[in-house]
Structure 1
Amino acid sequence: MSRGRRTRGVRIPAIVSAVIMFLLLGGCAGDGDDSRPLSTEEVELLALTRFRNFDAGVREVTFAVTDSGTRYEVDAWVDFPAGAGYGTVAIPGEESSTLAWTGQGVATGAPSPPGAAPLPPPADGWTSSSLAPEQSRLHAVLAVLISLGSDRPDNPVLLAQTDARWLREDSVAGTDVTVFRGPSSDTVETVATAEPPDTDGATAEVRYWVGADSTLHRLELALGGGAEWAVVDLVDAPDVTFDLSQLN
């Protein structure tokens, strides 16, 4: 399974175009009456989030998502410079399996015992397929996650010209954060395929929960088909390293 490329660009980069085709239709979900445009300081804060992920290297991500009626619970690490993820995926009541992905492919391995995925990743026993965010909510979230690193900050001048919004002040695990709605250019594009699967005309939105140092602590994605939200929590994992280049 080939390694993903590191991403640049001003907002969510090209990999998410396939995600957009599946998840996102027409405008954004309502923000309420208290949302407002970003201040200069808030633009700078949001513009650094992808660079902070890239600079951190590897971070742990946890989320759950329902895909075709099945709930998947993922506990994984994302190597942002490499554009790759590795961890476990579980269906409640069943054994968890190892999971690995890049921008091109996703693979599942043998059942994994409770706890973190084994390091280094096993070289054998994987079943691989293309990453298909246009067909699967799970794949869509995986694709977005590896897009969240950039080796340079986003351009604050361009970001200030978008419709990104301040939503509120909040906290994640005791850390104060600012919650932003991402630009609609991150999230909204006309679906190009006829009868996209299970979107039901839903609108879409991406929300970033950002600390005072621009660290991204939580990401919320509004998915199609009833506007289900996937909530991804991120924490640093400075001692974790993994290499997916030998998977087969």
Structure 2
Amino acid sequence: MTADEVNRLSVTRFLNYRAGGRAVTITVPNVTGGLVITGSIDYRTHTGYGVVRGTGRDASSDGLIRWTPTTVLVRPMPNPPAAAPASPPASGWYSRPLRTAGMTLDSALAIALDFGSDRPDNAALLPQNGAAWVGREQVRGRRTDIMRGPRASAEAGPGAHGKADTGSNTSTSQTVRYWIGSDGTMYRVEIAVASAPRPVVLDFDTQTYVPVKPLPGATPTP
């Protein structure tokens, strides 16, 4: 990798954090169909919110979804909207713990939260831990460099930052590819997750970013 490529890879998660949040589409494959989550991630509060749609047997998962490093909230809807309401509903939510072991959806949600960091990754350590330039590709009209980078941690949240650049974490994924623009902006990430038949894909800027608002007066159902 050139010095410029290493520097761009080292700041890409920090740029997400500095932006406050990003619009994202998360494609989660499995053997019975798959799920697609379209929404936003607030990298300051480590909160995601959006619409989830399934195919095959996963169609029963359709509705709204909201998640943090520890909790997943779902609000089933038979015909979910194209985009999640900017102000989330105050009722109808079901809550459960986020589980990263053996559950592809939860692993993908946790990993997605880990793509924002309040400081750049250690550029000196990235090549030592397997970072490499892979190629170039256009992503929605933007020229990007594809780089193999720091492994993704399913232990998302403030305490997880820094684990991905050391190579010492017990990651959900051993293979992560980043599509990064000339200024270090992250436009796509592909993660090989052990419990999924194909890689999980995160596409950023697929729609307009809508800030993630709190759930006013919501009382999730256990």
Q: TM-score range by the shorter chain?
A: 0.7 to 0.9
Do 1:67 and 1:136's aligned partners in 2 also have CA atoms closer than 8 Å? Answer: no
User: 1:224 — aligned with what?
Assistant: 194
2:125 is aligned to 158
Alignment RMSD: 2.7
Q: In structure 1, how many angstroms separate the alpha carbons of the residues matched to 2:217 and 2:123? A: 38
Identify if the C-alpha distance between structure 1 residues 247 and 155 changes in structure 2 by more than 3 Å, giving closer, same or farther.
Answer: farther
Q: Which runs of 5+ in 2 are unaligned?
A: 152-162
SS in 2 for 1:49: helix
Please identify, of 55-64 and 102-111, the stretch whose mean Cα deviation from structure 2 is larger: 55-64
- Residues 1:210 and 1:126: Cα distance change in structure 2 (over 3 Å): same
| Corresponding position: 1:242 with 2:209 | no
Question: Is 1:80 aligned to 2:43, yes or no?
Answer: yes
Please name the residue that 2:155 is paired with.
Answer: none
- Counterpart for residue 42 of structure 1: 5
1:60 matched residue in structure 2: 23
Structure 1: gaps (5+ residues): 1-37, 193-198
* TM-score under structure 1 length normalisation: 0.72
Supply the distance in 2 between the matched residues of 1:226 and 1:241 (Cα, whole angstroms).
28
- 1:181-196 aligned within 5 A: 181-183=148-150, 186=164
- Cα distance 1:242–1:181, how it changes in 2: closer, same or farther (>3 A)? same
Residue pair 1:56, 1:238 contacting (<8 A) in 2 also: no
Alpha-carbon offset, residue 167 of structure 1:
0.3
Find the counterpart in structure 2 of residue 179 from structure 1.
146
For the pair 1:139 / 2:113, whether they are aligned, the reply is no
TM-score by length of 2: 0.80
Deviation of the 1:39 alpha carbon: 1.7
**Contact 1:57/1:238, CA 8 A, preserved across alignment:** no
2:75 paired with 1:109: yes
- State whether residues 33 and 55 of structure 2, in contact with CA within 8 Å, keep that contact through their aligned partners in structure 1: no
Partners of 1:226 and 1:91 lie apart in 2 by 15
Equivalent in the alignment of 2:177: 207
